Structure 1
Amino acid sequence: MSEKTIMLACAAGMSTSLLVERMKQAAITKGKDYEIFAKSTADIDAQLSSADAKPDVLLLGPQVGYMKAEVKAKTDAAGIPMEVINMTDYGMMRGDKVLDAAEALLK
């Protein structure tokens, strides 16, 4: 079983899947056993109410950052920290930096 579950939510683009892979590599390098996955923003409600796949932290892709207030209300109600991924880290596919941001929210 994974230590923590990190969910990325985006508009369903391929770039977020690439970022997930980079984050997984960064986690392995750090010796962490995290489950990291990406879903469409349309799947947020289902994930937050899931008994077995509820994330410990949710990161929004910068392209859907306009949804922050709406999503934050839902994650706050579920007791899950949430933030928008830094646009530069996202654009440069800096999986290590995005993983650091997720870990900071978990503390």
Structure 2
Amino acid sequence: MRIMLACAAGMSTSILVSKMEEAAKQQGKDYKIWAIDQSLIEDELGNFDVLLLGPQVQHTKRKVTRLVGDRAPVAVIKPVDYGRGDGAAVLQFAEELIEKGE
């Protein structure tokens, strides 16, 4: 699975990526997880299975969803999980989105 996170600058999101990678490794899952600046989403179209937006850019969700179309689910990371840096919870959220095909 390829999980891409997008945010305003990438600093706090990169910490979350590390925690998600750690959780995936503990679960024996070989996922590609990375973070980008929201302005680069269009350049990554087709390269991810799910796109998670940081809470600080949730106002862009409608625009990003139109841009991504039916290529992949797009959702905003729950602020509590983001704030806690709960990599396992965000990883599970991404997996659920793919299962539902939302």
TM-score normalised by the chain length of structure 1: 0.89
Q: Which residue of 2 aligns with 1:56?
A: 49
Is 1:9 the counterpart of 2:6 in the alignment? Answer: yes
Check conservation: 2:10, 2:35, Cα contact below 8 A: no
Q: Which residue of 2 aligns with 1:82?
A: 74
Instruction: Spell out, residue by residue over 1:15-50, the C-alpha distance to the aligned partner (whole angstroms, 9 max, x if none).
Output: 10000000000000111000000000011000005x
Instruction: Spell out, residue by residue over 1:44-98, the C-alpha distance to the aligned partner (whole angstroms, 9 max, x if none).
Output: 000005xxxx101000000000001000111224x21110000000000000000
AA at the equivalent of 1:59 = L
Q: CA RMSD in A?
A: 0.9
Q: Which residue of 2 aligns with 1:44?
A: 41
Q: CA deviation at 1:13?
A: 3.3
Gaps of 5+ in 1: none
Matches within 5 A, 1:12-23: 12-23=9-20
Q: How many residues align?
A: 99
Provide the rounded CA distance (Å) in 2 between the counterparts of 1:90 and 1:6: 15
Percent of aligned positions that are identical? 48
Gaps of 5+ in 2: none
Q: Which residue of 2 aligns with 1:25?
A: 22
Q: Which residue of 2 aligns with 1:100?
A: 92
Is 1:73 the counterpart of 2:70 in the alignment? Answer: no
Q: Which runs of 4+ in 1 moved over 4 A?
A: none
Provide the rounded CA distance (Å) in 1 between the counterparts of 2:5 and 2:31: 13
